[in-house]
Structure 1
Amino acid sequence: MSVLGLYVPGTGPMHRVPAGPKLLALLVLGAVLIIASHLWLSVGALVFALLLYPAVGLGARRAWRALRALWPFLLAIGLFQALFVGAWTEGARLCAQLAALVLLANAITLTTRVREMLGLFERLAGPLRHVGVSPDRVALVLSLTIRSIPMVAVALNSAREGYRARGIVGRPHLMVVPVIVHLLRMAEATGEALAARGIDEDERVERA
């Protein structure tokens, strides 16, 4: 994993599609799933996302890694809906919908270069230049936000492995501090990478 992204080099179908159409397709699919609020449509989207990984050359293992980091949240959502709302079908729909969108967003991250994502966001934020907002700053913030989601999954996996290596059972709350520490280290590494690429120097020049 690079500091600023999780791009996996390749020549698969998704690698050849520009970032714009991929993000637009994700946006449209997410809107359809939310508006329709249909169980089987969400399940179908999840099945499609799972089949997409091996179809585009990413491998099923990467899909499994994303779901493995996500399952505690899915379990919590499903149990909350079943116990407090009294609708297990609604919980299943929400879990399938969330898992499908996370898998698809992760697939976009794995098949899109950082500079391509930054270029897209910078073009979209171009009109903000007229009100004194720097498009390249907006692009950087948006790109880092999107790529922080897989970094959280990496932190969770690392904490879980340490949790199991120490033979601790039945106390998952002990993973909270290691996850926070891991994320802080990732944030520090990201800051150092940005400084090495001259981000701080560019900001001082702009202010001057």
Structure 2
Amino acid sequence: MSLGLYLHRDSPVHTASAGAKMAGLLGAGLGLLLFPSPPVLGTALAATLGLFALARIHPRELAPMARLLAWMLVPLFLLHGWLAGWDTAVQTVLRLALLLLLATLVSLTTRASDQLETLQRALRPLARFGVSPARLSLMLSLTLRFIPLMATWVREVREAQSVRGLERDPLALLVPLLVKTLRTADALAEAIDARCFDSEDPS
């Protein structure tokens, strides 16, 4: 099983350190949480699209993720609009979409090993409180990579089902996607056991 979603490009975003990108993601999340006004959201959207362009990631490469986001966010938008009003729904969904896009950008421009090393180093002080930096850093790194990984699965399944003429059948997409997710979860559990994350962290 490979979680290597890194896209090699010669860009300033790729050469930036993993720590800087993760700190930027954290700062963006806090900013969107504290200042959800339309001007801030509009500026954040423009900046996010600009970062993808700066990273030389073509919109075509984001199409599978865009479809996945639509499946996730459209029902949320409709439910939130019905319960809390459409203005609030737009702000909520746009904030979530921006965070997912930025997390995807970090995943696509940062090697998994660099993410793990940076997170484990940042979380090392928590070891004195009984928290395993290795385990927690792996969890956070996998969380960052989950959305683009799911988007890759959606593209693979859609391509396979289109050959069979089933591209318009939702079940033909959802069932294989669920199977892939469960298999990946099993593989991750085996990998974690193999790396002995249940034992005391040596750091």
Query: Could you state the TM-score of these two structures normalised by the residue count of structure 1?
Result: 0.79
Which consecutive unaligned segments of at least 5 residues does structure 1 have?
none
CA distance in 1, matches of 2:49, 2:21: 17
1:144 maps to 2:142? yes
Aligned to 1:20: 19
Unaligned runs of 5+ in 2: none
**Kept in 2: contact 1:63–1:103 (CA 8 A):** no
1:48 aligns with 2:79: no
Q: What letter is aligned with 1:107?
A: L
Instruction: Give aligned pairs, total.
Output: 201
Partner Cα separation in structure 2 for residue 41 and residue 106 of structure 1:
20
Cα distance, 1:51 vs. partner?
2.9
Instruction: Work out which of the residue numbers 135, 139, 156 in structure 1 matches 2:133.
Output: 135
Shift in CA distance, 43/94, structure 1 to aligned 2, threshold 3 Å: farther
Aligned-partner Cα distance in 1 for 2:72–2:123:
33
Displacement of 1:7 in angstroms is 0.9
For the structure 1 residues 125 and 86, does the alpha-carbon distance in structure 2 shift closer, same or farther, using more than 3 Å as the test? Answer: closer
Distance between the aligned counterparts of 1:75 and 1:205, measured in 2? Answer: 42
In structure 1, the residue matched to 2:194 is: 200
Q: Report if aligned partners of 1:39, 1:90 keep a CA contact under 8 Å in 2.
A: no
Query: Within 5 A, what are the aligned runs for 1:35-184?
Result: 35-82=34-81, 84-85=82-83, 87-161=85-159, 164-167=162-165, 172=170, 175-184=173-182
Q: 1:168 to 1:23 in 2, by over 3 A?
A: same
Percent identity (aligned): 32
Deviation at 1:166, TM superposition (A): 4.7
- Report the Cα offset of residue 118 of structure 1: 0.9
TM-score by length of structure 2 reads: 0.81
